[in-house]
Amino acid sequence: MIAPGSDLHACAEIVERGDPERFAGAMAAPVEARRALFPLYAFNVEVARAPWVTAEPMIAEMRLQWWRDALDEIGSGGAVRRHEVVTPLAEVLDAEGAAVLDALVEARRADIEKAPFGEADELWAYLEATGGGLMAVAARCLGDRDGRAAWALGMASGLAAYLRAVPELEARGKLPLADGRPEAVGALAARGLELVGEARAAQSAMPRAARAALMPGVLAEAVLKRVVADPTRVKAGAVMPSEATVRLARLKAGLFGRV
């Protein structure tokens, strides 16, 4: 039970408003797992939106630096600032996890600029630091020390989310894809599907309790398959599968503890 008015409750509300898919994943997890997942996911919501809440690049940089400073406090083991997200995050994060999240914040600086990634390798580096890093830290907080499944699925689900966001990013004046040709977009999605396969093969190395960290990635395969089948769906904003497919994917993951 999460007590109303607590920091954990505040984190849960941030995630519910800002990241419904991760909220659903956390709510499907055991109550104890939520104590780690909600602060992590709330942190991600706050960092992800920092570049978008202002038109001033310097202010966005300052917002991101604030989170880097907070992570430095957590990682160093000293006094940590009082904050509804930082305080519960410090209770579940070790120095290695803080370092991974610091790389996530640094990668988010790319969102401040309108320019696209110069080449596919740059986009993959961004997805590794953001989607991969977040899922890997979530799994680590739940006892996973292998990391392969979380890193791979985190990158794949990060790509799926990124492709879903292309129309919105373009509407905001961002150029999200360096190469928007259908064959290039299809190749990105095909590589994402390979990562889903790698994650699936590595799940057995994870403690069952840590697999709750993978739940936000349950739709990655379905989304990426739709893009491979028809890459023009990305610009059309039509990459999400049917509601029935979404429900079935979540049900299977919840029942079998695998994605």
- Contact indicator for 211, 30 with CB cutoff of 8 Å: no
Helix, strand, coil distribution of the chain in percent, nearest 5: 75, 0, 25
CA distance 137 to 132: 9
> Considering the chain, what percentage of its residues have pLDDT values greater than 70?
98
For residue 250, what pLDDT is reported? 78
Condensed to tens digits (0 to 9), the pLDDT of residues 132-143 reads 999 999 999 999
| Mean model confidence pLDDT for the chain | 93
The answer on pLDDT for 1 being more than 70 is no
Where in the chain does DSSP place strands (E)?
Answer: none
3 state SS of 244:
helix
Q: Measure the CA–CA gap between 240 and 221, rounded to whole angstroms.
A: 11
Which structure tokens are listed for 9? 């409750």
Q: Per-residue pLDDT tens for 64-82? A: 999 999 999 999 998 999 9
Q: Report whether 133 contacts 100 (CB < 8 A).
A: yes
Question: Looking at per-residue confidence, does 67 or 173 come out higher?
Answer: 67
- Chain mean position to CA 234: 19
Three-class DSSP labels, 77-112: CCCCCCCCCHHHHHHHCCHHHHHHHHHHHHHHHHHH
When pLDDT is cut at 50, 70 and 90, the band that residue 245 belongs to is: confident
Residue 240, pLDDT score: 94
Taking only the tens place, the pLDDT of each residue in 182-238 is 999 999 999 999 999 999 999 999 999 999 999 999 999 999 999 999 999 999 999
Residue with tokens 């790319």: 110
